[in-house]
Structure 1
Amino acid sequence: MKRLPPLTSLQAFEAVSRHMSIKMAAEELSLTPTAISHRLKTLETQLGISLFHRLTRSLKLTAEGEILSPFVSDAFSQLNQGVAQLSMDEIEGELVVTTTRSFAWSWLSPRLPKFSRLYPQLDVKVIASDSVLDFARYSVDISIRYTDTPDPSAHAAWVLDDFVTPVCARKLSSKIKTPEDLLSRDMVEYEWLGFEDGDPNWQAWFASAGVPACQIRPIAHFSDEIMCIEAAIDNRAVALVSVIAASREIERGRIAAPIPQVLKDRSYYLVCPVERARTGKIKAFQDWLLSEADLFRDSAYGQQFMPQG
């Protein structure tokens, strides 16, 4: 049987072939790019083949690299799964969760004290970012992602469907009786990182409310949903935002949703690597999160703003 190459060289190859970047692989493995390049060279020398085409500003797997890559990836996935099983029942230490800024601010953070009381031995760290963070590179355990298509190679559990609706300052809401009443008001629109054609906007919302095609010109587009909600709180504009993101301020009475018309947006999913899904701390957080999501959906607020089925 042919002797296997060093595990460190195979690990470097797996990370580089996944990221297609020596720099990103080096950051993930806490090594220098030079060390990664050396390990790749060791692997290629022992195998007697080239695994990458080294282009001017990028890498591309050779035919041999394409053959080897899935085997090495599967092997490390199995190793990670085995290691994870050793600590499957441990519910302690640090739990790193990442999600969008608005979900962290409006929905998750107000509920986290309940989880901490259930599991005081867990130190929960929340990274609020509208970018999708790499699990290994940022040492993330769980990602609560805003998507309609969760990564099929990862473990994913549906949390909540989201919808958008107009919100405004409480004192303004009494003056808005119909969708047409909004046309004379200043409006702001949320366009997050990754916003695409077909995502909800004012034009689509008015169409769903039965208002004939009209020229809609928001006074501003914000990349941060919290800025849109603050514009509504300050009575600077009517904002088209997520009913989940707006829930805390609506329940506090600082803003109102004057027109009972919602438009479907994306959904939130809990996502984590498959090999980590059964670890004690991730399972505990998932069970708690889905229970909180059920309570929210079944609440008076959820019944009003989140159509079921």
Structure 2
Amino acid sequence: MPRRDLPPLRALTAFEAAARLGSFRLAAGELGITRSAVSHQVKSLEQRLGVQLFRRDARRAELTQTGQSYYPAVRDAFDQIEAQTRALRPPAADNELTVQVYVTVALKWLIPRLHDFERRFPDMKVRLSTSYFDWDFDEKNVDAGFILARNKSPEHYYRTLFRSMLTPVCAPELLRGPNALKTPEDLRKHKLLYVYTAEEDWTTWLEAAGVKGIKLSDRLAFDSYILAQEAAIEGRGIAMTIGPFATEEIKLGRLVQPFPLRVPSRHNWLFACNAEHRMKTKIKRFEDWLVKQIAADPSLDAYREKGK
């Protein structure tokens, strides 16, 4: 039989991560390699295929039309391998915990704190599952979730962690110049970056701000808040945040909040698990630890329920 004509796995892995995250820098962080290594692997894949997969400029890499056509096949292949690998594994031991968490929350809040959980419970093994487009708890594949749930199930246990507050953020340069953001009405002069599974975020905020008649463009939408936030950092428009997940970028001066208005969204941040499993040691450990981490985080003060 002829040998399979497959690109190197490392090149495919770099391409899949960069395409999924929309950033060579974020892909490098996920894969534990340098940004230049990701770029090199993608370049080698392009040379092997004889096509350009990413459109590069000084600040960002975007999929070309060819890349957009190629990515779903690579993503689906990786998803199938991951699913079958998970199915082959024996049932998780009581010290192995898989947590469903959105990539924005994982990168911007949870991962920097997990070292404390590891220190407190050195026998525990934590896996983060971030490949979710759906909002609700996926009990078939994870033990617990740090999520926004739109449709709650009576079979699940939920604990409110903090409120989800909508706040626009943008690059500092958008506060200057002839089209400077001074009032919410000035948003008409700029592109509103949004997550295509949560278009109502902007609608909710604009309504609270008293701004009418602004429609979202269908030319550029994202599947995660962190990608919209990265685009905002690059000055491509104004993104919406749903929690304190731009705190570091604001401290570093990469992002600013152009308006003080914070608007509660319809969904709170929750801890979730199967109701029958909530007292399992590994799940209870993580829940209690997570609640304590949230209570100790001053950046969450504005997101707590009043009186708590």
TM-score after normalising by structure 2: 0.61
Paired residue type of 2:194: E
List aligned pairs for 1:115-264, cutoff 5 A.
115-130=117-132, 131=134, 132=136, 134-136=138-140, 138=141, 140-173=142-175, 175-192=180-197, 195=198, 199-201=200-202, 203-211=203-211, 213-218=212-217, 220-264=220-264
Mapped to 1, the partners of 2:258 and 2:113 lie a distance apart of 26
CA displacement, residues 150-171 of structure 1 (integer Å, 9 cap, x when unaligned): 3222222111211111110133
Tell me which residue corresponds to 1:277.
Answer: 278
- Sort the Cα spacing of 1:30 and 1:229 in 2 relative to 1 into closer, same or farther, 3 A: closer
Mapped to 2, the partners of 1:271 and 1:165 lie a distance apart of 25
Mapped to 2, the partners of 1:115 and 1:209 lie a distance apart of 40
Query: Shift in Å at residue 185 of structure 1?
Result: 1.7
Query: Shift in Å at residue 250 of structure 1?
Result: 2.3
- Sort the Cα spacing of 1:257 and 1:110 in 2 relative to 1 into closer, same or farther, 3 A: same
Secondary structure of the 1:156 match is strand
Mapped to 1, the partners of 2:149 and 2:255 lie a distance apart of 26
CA displacement, residues 137-181 of structure 1 (integer Å, 9 cap, x when unaligned): x2x211222125532222221112111111101333454221122
List aligned pairs for 1:33-48, cutoff 5 A.
none
Paired residue type of 1:215: I
Identify, as 1 or 2, the structure richer in strand: 1
User: Conserved in 2, the CA contact under 8 Å of 1:102 and 1:225?
Assistant: yes
Q: Aligned residues: percent identity?
A: 29
Mapped to 1, the partners of 2:183 and 2:214 lie a distance apart of 17
User: Conserved in 2, the CA contact under 8 Å of 1:154 and 1:273?
Assistant: yes
Bigger radius of gyration: 1
Paired residue type of 1:302: L
Paired residue type of 1:255: L
Query: Shift in Å at residue 284 of structure 1?
Result: 1.2
- Sort the Cα spacing of 1:269 and 1:243 in 2 relative to 1 into closer, same or farther, 3 A: closer
User: Conserved in 2, the CA contact under 8 Å of 1:162 and 1:268?
Assistant: yes
TM-score after normalising by structure 1: 0.61
Query: Shift in Å at residue 305 of structure 1?
Result: 6.1
CA displacement, residues 12-63 of structure 1 (integer Å, 9 cap, x when unaligned): xxxxxxxxxxxxxxx8x969xxxxxxxxxxxxxxxxxxxxxxxxxxxxxxxx
- Sort the Cα spacing of 1:289 and 1:224 in 2 relative to 1 into closer, same or farther, 3 A: same
Mapped to 2, the partners of 1:304 and 1:160 lie a distance apart of 9
- Sort the Cα spacing of 1:30 and 1:163 in 2 relative to 1 into closer, same or farther, 3 A: closer
List aligned pairs for 1:43-82, cutoff 5 A.
none
Tell me which residue corresponds to 1:96.
Answer: 98
Query: Shift in Å at residue 184 of structure 1?
Result: 1.1
Query: Shift in Å at residue 191 of structure 1?
Result: 2.1
Q: How many residues align?
A: 214
Tell me which residue corresponds to 1:308.
Answer: 306
CA displacement, residues 246-282 of structure 1 (integer Å, 9 cap, x when unaligned): 2332233321111011222211211112232112221
Mapped to 2, the partners of 1:98 and 1:292 lie a distance apart of 17
CA displacement, residues 190-236 of structure 1 (integer Å, 9 cap, x when unaligned): 222xx47xx322x332221123x223343522222111001111111
Mapped to 2, the partners of 1:119 and 1:235 lie a distance apart of 42
CA root-mean-square deviation: 2.9
Which consecutive unaligned segments of at least 5 residues does structure 1 have? 1-26, 32-86
